[in-house]
Amino acid sequence: MVECGKFDKDKRLSFGVYMDNIPEFLFASFGAGLSNSILFAINTGFRGETLAKVMDQAQISFLIINESTVEEVDSAIKNTKTIGPESVYFSGDRKNFTSKEFLSLEDAIAEAERIEVPSRYRVNVDNFSSVIVIYTSGTSGMPKGVPCTHIKMFGAGFVVQSAVHLNKNDRGYISMPLFHSNAWYIGILPQMLVGGSFVLKRRFSASAFEEDMLAHGITFLNYVGQPLHYIIEALERKYGSGEAVEATLAKHPQNKFRIAYGNGATVNDRIKFKRYLGMKHVYEIYGSTEAVITTANLPGDPVDSVGRVDSSIRILDEEEKECVPGIMDENGALINYDKAVGEICRKVGDNNLRFEGYFGNADATRQKFRNGWYHSGDLGHIRIVSGKRYMFFNGRTDDWIRKDGENFSAESVILHVQNIPAVDCAIAYGAPCEVSDEKVMITVQLKGGAEFEPDKVYEWLIKQQKEKGMDPKWMPDYIRIIEKFSVTDTQKIIVRPFKRENFNLGNNPDMQIFFRQRGDNTYRRLTTEEFSKIKESFRANGREHFLAAG
């Protein structure tokens, strides 16, 4: 398209892709690599004003879409300053685009094919230049673009391939969205390096995994978020029990599946997944799109760790002093949480091949690189096991809950409440307190057919405190029941809306919430009358604005 005169030859071409996992996305990325262009992989979860701002900041020359994203682009393009409808190319059936001003990608390619190009045509490619820009999730503030160089992409793929020993006979399963780094770093690049193959799914489907795995000889799965949980749930529902799943699939003659590699799976789900499917290992990792700090739980590592780390990775407190290693009691509970848990950081120099900064966002880059450290924004702690340093993930710094003058992570709460017998999935966050700091609030999705029984839940949580190392401060003050969580394309639950709504029945009277107060020995249903009493306490203490703001 550059050669046929559509775009300036003297400027490095930048373009965006805003579409599902379809082959055209892959072809566009390969084209970017071969032509020394930059592809902006725009998250299809971006909508409206956010989508328009992302496109403007990227200053793309054109955008490629498909039928599932056309409506969002048609709306957002009206508010962009850098491109218009004439710069949008659609891939797919023409009848889905006839009412739009967008152009056909197929027609543009056909036109370009008429241009004579030398048979030995080559473009000089700088391996240290960006080939793709991938955005952070955007769960807090405007999305930040992470430029990924050719060498970074190669390096990420090499690390994964080396860890799991992939070969040309392996077949991957790419169901995570192509706008996410997980699909590239873990899914695509390792297979390309060894000459393997992969199945590309338009979207993740838990119910389709078993059939796909057996029919296509899948050996390797990349994941992010909770796909393993959903696959396990689908299999248990289909076969009736975990034992039946294992009996059917673990030694199935068509089952070649051996490795899963990603992040976001619980210890219980990893153990189940491995057993049900007769796998070798589930590599639970710690990492991010920035890729400055990456670790992986290797065979033989403590199962609840995210792997062994070297001395460049440190846990720092709020004063950037190194935290002490974690100490466990006889029940496996961390007994020096306050002194051991801090932000996961890495000592860095002037040249950082893994991550040089966010695209067009110097302020965000400065926040990440401070005083010679890369700050991950995540919480963790180090334990010394058999003389080796292992890292354990404790949540995000954004997920701090402050109660009774003490800080702790939402992840600490989740590790206990997600195991309540009737609970299928849970999130935790800080809710407004009528006196100071915050209360602990959780929102739970119940298992199919299960009912919330306040007395039993309360007793179960008390038992966790007595036997399982649950800090009494982590005891939920409010429990919200919902029918089903909505998840992003990367299978993550966005906590912010729940935190904003908190327990304010005045704004959302249909919420089903249970609560407890000091002295209670069970949970009670929060009624509008009870909420009015709580609201009056906020008003009396001059804190009503906290309740309204969430």
Q: Which of 402, 277, 391 is nearest to 338 (CA)?
A: 402
| Same structural domain, 369 and 450 | no
Predicted pLDDT of residue 6: 53
Would residue 6 count as lying in a domain? Answer: no
DSSP strand pairing (38-41 vs 14-18):
parallel
Would residue 142 count as lying in a domain? Answer: no
Structure letter (DSSP) for residue 289: S
Q: In angstroms, what is the C-alpha Rg of the chain?
A: 25
Predicted pLDDT of residue 162: 94
| Same structural domain, 360 and 432 | no
Ranges of the chain with pLDDT below 50: 3-5, 138-140, 550
For helices 227-239 and 206-216, give the axis angle rounded to 10 degrees: 80
Block residue for tokens 């206990």: 416
Which domain-ending residue is among 396, 427, 455? 396
CATH of the domain at 305: 3.40.50.12780
Tokens of 521: 């020995």
pLDDT in tens, 326-380: 999 887 788 898 899 999 999 987 666 678 888 888 888 888 888 889 999 888 9
CATH of the domain at 26: 3.40.50.980
Q: What total of structural domains would you count in the chain?
A: 3
Would residue 140 count as lying in a domain? Answer: no
Q: Are 326 and 392 in contact (CB under 8 A)?
A: yes
Cβ atoms within 10 Å of 143's Cβ, excluding its own: 23
| Same structural domain, 246 and 367 | yes
Rounded Cα gap, residues 502 and 351, in angstroms: 44
| Same structural domain, 410 and 528 | yes
Predicted pLDDT of residue 140: 45
| Same structural domain, 465 and 520 | yes
pTM, two decimals, is 0.80
CATH of the domain at 459: 3.30.300.30
| Same structural domain, 21 and 85 | yes
Would residue 145 count as lying in a domain? Answer: no
| Same structural domain, 71 and 39 | yes
| Same structural domain, 286 and 321 | yes
Predicted pLDDT of residue 285: 94
Would residue 143 count as lying in a domain? Answer: no
Predicted pLDDT of residue 216: 98
Would residue 130 count as lying in a domain? Answer: no
Cβ atoms within 10 Å of 252's Cβ, excluding its own: 15
Alpha helices (H) in 305-453, listed in sequence order = 337-340, 362-368, 410-417
Predicted pLDDT of residue 120: 66
Could you tell me how far CA 490 lies from the centroid of its own chain?
Answer: 6
Predicted pLDDT of residue 160: 96
Predicted pLDDT of residue 5: 47
| Same structural domain, 310 and 167 | yes
| Same structural domain, 358 and 451 | no
Would residue 154 count as lying in a domain? Answer: yes
Residue 265 belongs to what domain range? 150-396
Block residue for tokens 């579409």: 19
Rounded Cα gap, residues 278 and 267, in angstroms: 16
| Same structural domain, 329 and 308 | yes
Rounded Cα gap, residues 486 and 437, in angstroms: 28
Rounded Cα gap, residues 526 and 264, in angstroms: 32
| Same structural domain, 322 and 411 | no
Give, in degrees to the nearest 5, the angle at Cα 410 between 404 and 412: 90
Predicted pLDDT of residue 520: 95
Which domain-ending residue is among 369, 396, 423? 396
Span between the terminal Cα atoms of the chain, in Å: 50
Rounded Cα gap, residues 148 and 38, in angstroms: 9
Q: Are 347 and 312 in contact (CB under 8 A)?
A: yes
Would residue 257 count as lying in a domain? Answer: yes
